A and B are shown apart, each in its own frame.
Chain A
Amino acid sequence: MERKPVIVVQDLTRRFGEVVAVDHLTLEVVPGEIFGFLGHNGAGKTTTVRLLNGILTPHGGTARVLGLDPVHDGPALRRRTGVLTENPSLDERLTGRENLSLYADLYGVPPGEVPRRTEELLQFFELADRADQKVGTYSKGMKQRLALARALVHEPELIFLDEPTAGLDPVAARHVHTLIARMGHEQQRTVLLCTHNLVEAQKLCHRVAVLEHGRLIALGTPTDLARQWVRSHRLELEVAPDSLPMAQAVLQTRWGISNPLLENETLILTGVARETIPDLVASLVTAGVRIYRLTPQEPTLEDVYFALHGEDRAPGPPPLGILHAGPDTKGRKR
């Protein structure tokens, strides 16, 4: 049975003066999906979250979220959504427990359930031992966890997470990633994740939308986007040590790669078009190069992102002769 989308957005537009923050955005998000919103700062991610929760009014287009119109049904909609704002937006003069209780009241959690719900969340987010201390004394990671707990205090069906790991240390970020994965994969909640952390998106999201200047420039699963947008690959080539000079010579004379990167006795070739790999291997073998290992690296979301923005992902040798140019712009979704 086809699942009814949780979010349906059609030509959504919002301006701030002359600046178009969200420009004719059209997309759908289905239940249980972890949907990523990628883009630079100012790409329109946060504005879209505000529009979808009815705290900003659009200048054009329509949106239905959980079957409701954010403009006219804002309070009813916000009762069913939870938002982790980019800034934790916590009252630092209140304790962690007071912050959660306040928002439990504001979100209409039944009064008898508030103490149990806040205690459960404090335990779950490993904040129970500091629950009665002022939030101003918390570390950044603790504040982020508390803000996440606050977004979940009323058990929302749809969760918006705006840069949930921004500024966190790797351990705290990993902790948040585990929580998001659990919400999406185990609890079957729908999550809309705004991030410019591409590794995070690759790891967590079922599908991603890439925004640029408020416009949707790509939409799909990370794998689909990689196939669609990244035609060149990164290869790791390990050869016998005595074959290394010959391999370098062949790469330079035949393929125009003058100084391939050498990492741990492995040559790193970037920008190799997939269909040239057999010829590349054949030329090396013919020249007597003894190949131990050739590993094509699957393009990451990071590769997709930089391909979309027309930027080189990493420094390296000039691209090989048969490289594809950038993707066909006619294929861009608007």
Chain B
Amino acid sequence: MNWRAIRAIVRKDLKVVFQNKGVSVPLIVVPTIILIALPALAAFAPALQGVPGTPFAGLDTFLQQMPPALQAQLAGYSESQAMVVLVLVYLLAPMYLILPLMVASVIAADSFAGEKERKTLEALLYTPTTDRELFLAKLLSAWLPAVGVAWAGFLLYTTTANLAAWPTMGRILLPNAMWIALAGWLAPAVAGLGLGFTVVISARAQSFQEAYQLGAVVVVPILALVIGQAAGVLYFQVGLVFGIGLLFWAADAVLLWFGGRIFRRSELAARL
């Protein structure tokens, strides 16, 4: 494996990707909302108690919809504390997964479909890299920053959440075992899902925008997790996070195997 060539492609892709406003703007805006704005708002959650139209209008009723195990987790807290824990630890957890998903999808769309759009793929195909090296380099270009952002985001979220929760909780809330599993195990798998899906889409897409828009479909499983938890169908605890991670890793393997079959020099050159 020619790691020097792989590193060179990864470096190039990242440099090129972050000069595209279509890529860099969402990479700033979305993390700011998910990692700072939403957890900061949780500081005001106790003030929302009884406000009509919010889940906090009648917390008792809302909590009754939650799985019994989650109710047990919140049993020792006051109403205000339970509300903060519910929001920061559980309800925002699946939202955090949007981060690695989005970063991987956006970069992969630029790296795979964008390369075609910019007409830079042909020169790359003429280099002595093997198909496997080229594919791996392209995968790492998207996956490494997605995992990096997810882990840096985990630290940022933990800090913001603890600061927001401190007036109500009076103690450090995060990280807990579930969030460590979320960031360490599930987030890389979710990045892989966004990546694999976009790679497959990009094989046919002719532009970054097309690949990015079609690739947005992959957010559906994450939205299902957000809605599922808010509706009390499931709640994020270590076992569930591990199980979902397993499913996502399996999906990644299938998508990347399929992507690897599409990403062949001869196939790519035939479509130039």
Interface residues of A (CB under 8 A from B): 16, 50, 53-57, 74-79, 81, 83, 85, 87, 89-94, 98, 102-103, 105-108, 111, 147, 150
Contact = CB atoms under 8 A, between A and B. Distances in A.
B37 interface: no
B16 A78 contact: no
A85 B8 contact: no
A76 B128 contact: yes
Contacts of A111: 4
Among B7, B20, B127, chain A packs the most CB atoms within 10 A around the CB of B127
Contact of A89 (B8, B15, B19, B122): B122
A102 B8 contact: yes
Interface of B: 2, 4-5, 7-9, 12, 15-16, 19-20, 118-130, 265-266, 269-270
A91 B118 contact: yes
Nearest to A86: B122
B265 A55 contact: yes
Contacts of A103: 123, 127
Main secondary structure of the interface of B (DSSP, over half): helix
Contacts, number: 80
Given A93-B16, A102-B12, A75 B129 contact: yes
Nearest to B264: A57
B31 to A, nearest CB: 23
Contact of B119 (A53, A81, A87): A87
A94 B265 contact: no
A110 to B, nearest CB: 10
B8 A105 contact: yes
A94 B126 contact: no
Contacts of B119: 87, 89
A295 to B, nearest CB: 46
A44 to B, nearest CB: 14
Nearest to B17: A93
A316 to B, nearest CB: 41
Contacts of B265: 54-56, 74
A90 B128 contact: no
Contact of A106 (B8, B15, B120, B270): B8
